[in-house]
Each structure stands twice: as structure tokens, then as C-alpha cells.
Structure 1
Amino acid sequence: MYKKFVYSALLILLFTTVKAQLKTSDAVMKDFMSMRFGMFIHWGPVSLRGTEIGWSRDKQVSKEEYDSLYKEFDPVLFNADAIVNTAKAAGMKYLTITARHHDGFCLWPSKFTDYNIANTPFKKDVVGALNEACKKQGIKFCIYYSVLDWHHPDYPIHSAHNQTIDPNASMSRYITYMKDQLKELITKYDPYMLWFDGQWESPWTGEMGKDIYAYLKKLKPDVVINNRLGKEFGGVENKNIDLTKMVGDYDTPEQVVGRLNMAMPWESCFTICDQWAWKPNDKMKSLKTCLSILSKTAGGNGNLLLNVGPMADGRIEARQITRLKEIGDWLQLNGAAIYNTSGGPYTPTDNYATTRKGNKIYLHVLNTDTAAIALKNLPSRKIVKAQTMKGEAVAVKNESEYTTIALPPGLAHTTEYIIVLELDGNAETIPVID
């Protein structure tokens, strides 16, 4: 009986060790989270119509028309170097391209389907071009790949707006197709990170997600993988997730800033306009809104993946490039408060967020119309010096429960700015303060 117990215990230990080895290393995840800011790109033939990628198929655009758009897709002004340069000028450290969205169209010349960029008038490999441009400019290259594919005959659902199961479809054949394409993407482009999506529909199961995750880890052990291979993710609801059920390395709240979390890595994805894919005259977020999202995200200990949608000719709109450059200009001065920092110790509010590194807390002043900010006193730490990023001294008043930071009157009603609070000890070990 004892031998059986020992044998069972060894099997459990072995299984646990194997599972642990499958996970992305702590060093890689630390590197990923230190970057804080990346570019998301949603793009494909649908830009010819200006409707939403994937979701407008079988709604604003008929399936037949949507599925034929690739025949006229010829983005002659696409310039991978220019797009990556735009990301770099914005202060972004990584770039994620929708190699295949829910509509099934592939932006690389996949040998496993004819529904790809090689069969358009353009013909050029978009994924490959962006990969090369990222390598040249020192940006991490990442790939988005949808779990579902409404175009593929073996995926059982063929429309977002009609969930009827096709009895002739085969998930086993479809998963083989997925694995073939994912191996192709990893072999050809060696992505730093894979961003999955579309796992919410009924044909896809959590076990399928675990199988794909394990398969990818055998192909490239340290590729970073988000948590949308499984059903457990924050998403647009920003819900609390069960980590025991999560498949992947980090959580993905969508169009909302994630909660402050010092234990679990996360990345919020936002659109710079309203729609993911390009839309004529789409409402664009103000600089103030973009900076607030960035600061609150870093303040919550997360990354921000900010999306742009190139036009049908391959260019990012000039107004979006201008907005991104404005963010980059802000980061030129304030990047120390974003990159390589930890979130907290204070929970972000509409008035402020905080990040920290070493003996410094960076106070992000989001509401520049206020005259002062009151912070709960730090446990076992004192503020010994306070100044703006440009070195202007800031007055600090210590009271029984709160420390009041008097904001410089000359910065009232201006763009968001940072006040550096220097402490008499390590800021990174301070517990979270609500």
C-alpha cells in the first residue's frame, strides 16, 4: 500500500513538474510586463467597406460579398517600416497584428488555405513585412490568431449572427488545421507573443485550449500566450477570473482598464477610435483620454495594447499618427513613470494613479483641475522629497492620516503630468493601499 502511495505521489509530482515547465518563464513574463505599452493592429480586406472586422460579415456586409473582398484588396501604400516607426515614435515596445481574425482571412501566405494575402492583387506577405520591420527597429513582434473561423468549412459555426451548428463540420479536422497554421506562424516568424481570441463559442472547449497551449509550448517554450485559449478571461466585463481555470499566461480585459493586481499579469486592449477596424470619420479618443488609460493601466500593474486600424490603402490615418506621436512626446518626458515600473501602491482613481520603482513613487496627476491630492499615509515610509519630472519642487504636508500634495499652480488645466515622490526606503515592498 505504501509503495502504491509513493508511486502515486511521484506521478503527481511529475505531472505537476511537467505542467510547470509548460508555463512561460517568470523572466520572460517580467520582460513582457515591463514594456507596458504596445500597438494592436486590426486589418484586412474589410477595410474596403469601413465596417467592423469579422462582426460585420453577414450583417452590414453579406457573407458572399465579405468573403470576396480579398479579390480587390490591394493596399499599395502599405509600408511596414512606416507603421513600425509610428509605433516606436508613440513609445510602444511591441506590436500585435491580426494575422487571422474571426473572418478567417490570413495576412500571410499560408499553405493551408487559399483564403490569404497571396491570392489578393497585393500578394505581399503583410505578417512577414511587419516582422522584419519590428526586428530592424527593436520592437517585439506579436501575432493575433482567432480560435474561431466563420469562413472555414470545418469550424461548425459560419456566422456571428447565426449560431446553427453545421453537422458536416469537424472540430478534429479544424484543430489539425489550426495547429498546422500555428506551427507555420511560429516557424516562419518566431513571434514573441501570441494573442488568441474567439474562444467563447460553444464548439470550443477549455480542454481544446489546454491542448493548443501545450502544443505551442513544445514548439516554442518561451512564447508568451494570452488567456483567450480558455473560457476564463476578464474581457469587456472586467470580471474577476478563477486562476485555476485560466489557460494562458496573462489576463485580457477589453475596452476597460483592469483592476490593480500585483500577482497576476494582465493587459488591457483599447481602440484609439471606436471601431477595431478602420471606419471613415470614426470618433477618435482625445490625448487626455489616451494618457489617462495608459497611466491607470500602468498604475494597476498592467500593460496597454492600443489599437489602430489601417485604411484600405495600407496607411494609418494621419490624425491617428498625430495622436500617437503626442503620446510618444509625453512619454519622452514621463517614460520613467511607465516603463519598468510596478503598479500601486495606491489604487488608481479618476484623479490620480501611482507607479513605483526603487525608492520612488510616481504620482500621475490625471485631473489637473484640482489644487491638491490627499494620499493615505504610507506604512513605515516617509516622503523626503517631491518634485515634478522637470525638477520643480512640490510642497508636501503630513497630517495624522493623510499626506497632502500641493499641485503646482502653473500646471493647472494642462496635460496630465507626473510628480516624483522620493521615499526614505523601498517603495516596491509597500502593500496595496485602497
Structure 2
Amino acid sequence: MPAGVATVRRCVGGPGRVVILAVPRRGSTGEFRYVMKGTTISSDDAERGARLAWWHDAKFGMFVHWGCYSVLGRGEQILLRDLMPLEEYRQLADRFQPAADWADQVADQAVRAGARYVVLTTRHHDGYCLFRTETDPFNATQTGPGRDLVAEYVAALRKRNLRVGFYYSILNWRWRGFWAPNKYAEELPKIVDEIHRQIRELMTHYGKIDILWYDVSQVPGGPTPGASGYQAQPVSQSRAEFYRSAELNAMVRSLQPHILINNRSGVPEDFGTPEQHIKPEEGGRAWEACMTINYAPNWGNIRYSVADKTAGQILYNFMDAVRLGGNFLFNIGPDERGYVSERDRQALDRVGQWLEKYGEAVYGTTPTGIYASASQGPCYHYGMFTCRGNIAYLTLFYYPGDYVIISKIGPAIRSAELLTTGEKLTVTPMKNARWKISGLPAAPPGDLAPVIKIEFTGPPHLLEFSDAAWLDGQYQPTGGK
């Protein structure tokens, strides 16, 4: 079943095939549809849909970029971007002294923000591991921290009933064989072996893991973030072939049967990962937009920045992903102690306060027939719709004043309510199949975007037209009635 599946109601069938009796799935335009009784799909796809159900409902995760690079406060790619010799970079690991309560601070921030899962950089492109590993002494237990930081992170999340995600960079800049694969050919199998062994450690030592989030599976000699001027000399194998990704992920699933794996190991796996922009996957596949408060490459600790997104911009991108059926993974870059920066805290706390009030417009909602594509859509000059059954929630990013006009959406509107205050609004039919919802305050109520809850007589959907009759007030929908 494609990745849009939320739940499998009932299924029957022999080995390798399943006949679905009733199951919601997402079509190519992003809306959820029901697969009719008797539709046959593969058992692998049905199993993936079941694993993705909680994730689709969760909508919002918190990304955490943190490591020994956080000591300098110049981002997570400082090793390559400043061309630091390894001896110089190793000193950062010794200076890296996280606070005893760092994991609790991060987990509490996720709760306040309204995130339902967290993804931590267990290893970034510098190869520094926040966990105990037998493969490389360049890790948190054998350098400055002197302890397993991943274990602390997992414990803090579980205390708060947050889902656990591990980011893992397949790329490790510290291998000479990556930069000169012909000269250091003997290192190439060691690069792959280290990855397989470290992933096995991560999947074995920390209990149930919900998400494995790979990054940058570039082959040795290939282009990499931050390598301006490097003359690429990639090995001839594909990423999946070189890193033996299918074998790697099969091992992961044998150890963690319920885990979700992203698409950055060279094979598609469970979900796509558009970065710093909102773009649905082709064919209705599950997807998650990842974004940070400033702009690439600075996902890690940055002490000073004048290029930060506001809480309103974060919420806008979040809801843009949700309306199109995606998840939103928003990043923080804690300081060298592991504490959340004030700018991250202020922005995410405002988003979290908004979610506390308007969570019903987000969690557990599904894509609908309102949006036929990833482009704008009806009423986009006011805001964005999310839906559940016959209910549509209009998040007003551009507040209209005392009334709003709903056009190009059917069927009929039954009632409307301003969620901010709980006040019932007046609904009046108009020419051209429009509806006027009036009684709104003259100025926006509350912080960030207010939300109108609209009940239709059936599932809301886009109305189509193909002539000029609307100019005379004689609008005649040609589809989606």
C-alpha cells in the first residue's frame, strides 16, 4: 500500500498478498481515499502503512543537531568548511562538556513545542559519535563528555512518551579514502564496515527505536556539502551498491521491526525528506520536510544570526506541509552544554502554545480533495485548510477582518466557529456557490494565526469550473459537486 495509508481496518489473504476490506489511502493528488473491498495490494506495502500510521498522525517532530562542533558555535560543518586539520578538530571533542541535564532540557523543549517525536544527530559528517562504539575512539564515552549521550537522550524522551529518532550520517569526512579513493583504496571496505557496525550498535543498545534518519550517502570521491573547490573523483558504484544499503537496512529491520527509515541511504525505504522547502513526494509516498530556524548549512549551534525565521514563518511552513499530507521536522542547534538557545526556545514555545490551542486542526488530520496539487488552492489568500471528516480548519495567516469568503469548495457549509474564542460565526450563502462567514473580530485574536472550524455537509473538496459564467454570478461547478 502506498505510504499514505493511515490504518488497515481488516485484511485477509495468503502469504505475500493481502486483500483489503477497508483502508484509507492517499491518492496521487494527496487526498485520502478508501481502497474498496477486494483491492489487492502487497503485504509489504500493507505492513509499511501500518508502521507509518502513528507518524502520519504525529505530524510534528523536533530535529536536534548537536555534537562536539557545538563548542565553536559556528555550525555543524566547521571541520570541512574551515579546512581544520584533524588534530585541531579533535581538541573540540575534549572541550565538549555537556551539562548533566542537557537531555531533559531538549526533551522538555520538544514537549513545549508540541512535537511528538525527536531525531538526534548520533553521528554527523565529522564522524564523532555521541554513543559508545567499539569502532572508533572518537566518541562521547572516550573524549570530553566521558559518557553515552545517546543513552541519556533516549531515557529523557521515554520519560515524556516521545518517539525516539536517530539521525546518522553515512558520510564521514575523517576518512582519507573518502577524499582520495584511488590513493587510499584499502580504506574503502573499512568505511562501509564501520557504518554497518555502528548502525548495529545503535539498533541493539537502546531498546525500541522509532525512526532511523540517514543523511548524505555520497560515495567516496563524490561531491559533498561544504567541499567548495574539491575535484570530484567518485567511485563507479551507486550509493546503494557501495554502502550495501539494502543489506544494511535489512539488518536494521531484523533488529527493529517497527522502525521507520528515510530515503537517504540510496534506497527509497519509508519516507522522503525535502530539505528547507515544502514539496510532496511523487506517487503519494510519505514525506517529511526538514527545516531549521536559519538557512543551510547552519543546523548546529550558531551563536549569532540575523537570518532567523520568525515563529509565524515556522508555523506557515509547518501548516503548508500538513495541508499537503506531509510531516514537519523542525531543527534546533543546542549550545555546547546541550541547552536550547533563547531564539530557538522563544520561537518554538510560541508554536507550541499555538498547538495547545489549535491542535485539533493539526494532529490526526488528513489530506483532502481541497488541494488538487501542491500549488496554492482555494482561499489561499486567507490561509490554509486541514481536514478531518466533514470538518475543515482554516488557519488564517492573512487575517481578513470581520468576515471571510469561502469559494471554490463544496459541499454546503453547515456551521462555523472561531476556535480562538469558541464563538459561533454567521454563515450566509452567496452567489457563485460562495459562503460568507462573518462575525470575526476586526483585529486578529490571539497570538499567531487564528483558526476557523468549518463544518460541511460532507467531506470538503475542490469545485471545478470551465466557463465565464461566474462573471455574471452564474457559477456552475463542472466537477466535485
TM-score bracket, shorter-length normalisation = 0.7 to 0.9
Determine whether 1:358 maps to 2:389.
yes
Match of 1:423 among 456, 471, 475: 456
1:118 Cα deviation after fit:
0.9
Separation in 2 of the partners of 1:267 and 1:281?
28
Q: Show the counterpart of 1:209.
A: 245
Q: Which residue of 2 aligns with 1:179?
A: 196
Percent of pairs with identical residues: 26
1:247 paired residue among 268, 271, 276: 268
Equivalent AA in structure 1 for residue 268 of structure 2: V
- Cα distance, 1:15–1:52 mapped onto 2, change above 3 Å: farther
Matched, 1:79 2:109: no
How far is the alpha carbon of 1:63 from its aligned partner? 2.9
Q: Per the alignment, in what secondary structure is the counterpart of residue 68 of structure 1?
A: helix
In structure 2, the partner of 1:264 is 285
Tell me, which stretches of 5 or more residues in structure 1 are unaligned? 1-12, 231-245
Deviation at 1:151, TM superposition (A): 1.4
Deviations 1:379-422, CA, capped at 9 Å, x for gaps: 4x221001111322334444325445457233438621111110
Report if aligned partners of 1:251, 1:267 keep a CA contact under 8 Å in 2.
yes
Does the 8 Å CA contact 2:365/2:388 hold for their aligned counterparts? yes
Alignment of 1:376-391 (within 5 A): 376-379=407-410, 381-389=411-419, 390-391=421-422
User: Cα 1:107–1:407, aligned 2, differ >3 Å: closer, same or farther?
Assistant: farther
Report the Cα distance in structure 2 between the residues aligned to 1:385 and 1:266, rounded to whole angstroms: 33
**Structure 2: how far apart are the matches of 1:165 and 1:302?**
41
Q: Kindly state the Cα deviation for residue 14 of structure 1 after the two structures are TM-superposed.
A: 8.5
Structure 1 residue 356: Cα displacement: 0.7
Q: Are the equivalent residues in 2 in contact too, given 1:75–1:312 (CA < 8 A)? A: yes
C-alpha separation in 2, matches of 1:101 and 1:344: 37
Match of 2:131 among 98, 108, 119: 108
Q: Which residue of 2 aligns with 1:94?
A: 117
Aligned counterparts, 1:11-410, within 5 A: 21=44, 25-54=48-77, 56-64=78-86, 65-76=88-99, 78-152=101-175, 156-158=177-179, 166-189=183-206, 190-201=208-219, 202=222, 203=235, 205-207=239-241, 208-230=244-266, 247-259=268-280, 263-274=284-295, 275-283=298-306, 284-347=308-371, 348=376, 349=380, 351-368=382-399, 373-379=404-410, 381-389=411-419, 390-396=421-427, 397-406=429-438, 408-410=440-442
CA shift for structure 1 position 67: 3.7
Mapped partners of 1:412, 1:76: distance in 2 = 41
* 8 Å CA contact retained: 1:210, 1:247: no
Structure-2 change in CA distance of 1:167 and 1:152 (3 Å): closer
Instruction: Give the AA of the match of 2:194.
Output: Y
More displaced 10-residue stretch of structure 1: 203-212 or 110-119: 203-212
Could you say which residue in structure 1 is the equivalent of 2:31?
Answer: none
User: Separation in 1 of the partners of 2:151 and 2:381?
Assistant: 41
TM-aligned CA distance change 1:20 to 1:173, over 3 Å: farther
Partners of 1:345 and 1:356 within 8 A in 2: no
Instruction: Name the CA shift for 1:424/1:112 in 2 (closer, same or farther; >3 Å).
Output: same
Preserved contact between residue 374 and residue 404 of structure 1 (Cα < 8 Å): yes
Sort the Cα spacing of 1:369 and 1:358 in 2 relative to 1 into closer, same or farther, 3 A.
closer
2:151 maps to amino acid = G
CA–CA separation in structure 2 for the residues paired with 1:23 and 1:209: 22
Question: Structure 1 counterpart of 2:196, which letter?
Answer: K
Shift of residue 311, structure 1, vs aligned partner = 0.5
Query: How far is 1:357 from its partner?
Result: 0.8
Local SS of the residue matching 2:198: helix
Distance 1:423 1:105, change over 3 A: same
How far off its partner does 1:301 sit? Answer: 0.9
State TM-score, norm by structure 1.
0.83
Amino acid at match of 1:58: L
Instruction: After superposing the two structures, state which structure 1 stretch, 280-289 or 358-367, moved more.
Output: 280-289
How far does residue 78 in structure 1 lie from its aligned partner after superposition?
4.7
Further displaced range: 338-347 or 58-67: 58-67
**More displaced 10-residue stretch of structure 1: 138-147 or 411-420:** 411-420
1:225 and 1:260 mapped to 2: Cα distance? 15
How far apart, in 1, do the equivalents of 2:282 and 2:367 lie? Answer: 8
Indicate how the Cα distance of structure 1 residues 175 and 63 shifts in structure 2: closer, same or farther if over 3 A, else same. same
Deviation at 1:77, TM superposition (A): 5.5
Deviates more, 1:416-425 or 1:64-73: 64-73
Q: Secondary structure at the match of 1:353?
A: strand
In structure 2, what is the equivalent of residue 235 of structure 1? none
Distance in 2 (alpha carbons) for counterparts of 1:168 and 1:16: 44
Shift of 1:333: 0.6
Letter of the 2:312 partner, please give it: K
Secondary structure, counterpart of 1:40 in structure 2 = strand
Larger mean CA deviation between 315-324 and 163-172 belongs to 163-172
Contact 1:383 1:424 in 2 (8 A): yes
For residue 386 of structure 2, give the secondary structure of its aligned residue in structure 1.
strand
Q: Counterparts of 2:168 and 2:160 in 1: how far apart (Å)?
A: 23
Normalising by structure 2, what TM-score?
Answer: 0.75
Mark the CA change 1:195 to 1:166 in structure 2 (over 3 Å): closer, same or farther.
farther
Change (3 A) 1:350 1:105: farther
CA distance 1:323–1:262, shift in 2 (3 Å): farther
**CA contact under 8 A between 1:51 and 1:60: conserved in structure 2?**
no
Counterpart Cα distance in 2 of 1:124 and 1:140: 22
Q: CA deviation at 1:111?
A: 1.6
> How far, CA to CA, are the matches of 1:133 and 1:167 in structure 2?
41
Measured in 1, the distance between the counterparts of 2:138 and 2:45 equals 32
Change (3 A) 1:164 1:228: same
Q: Which amino acid aligns with 2:85?
A: K
SS in structure 1 opposite 2:192?
Answer: helix
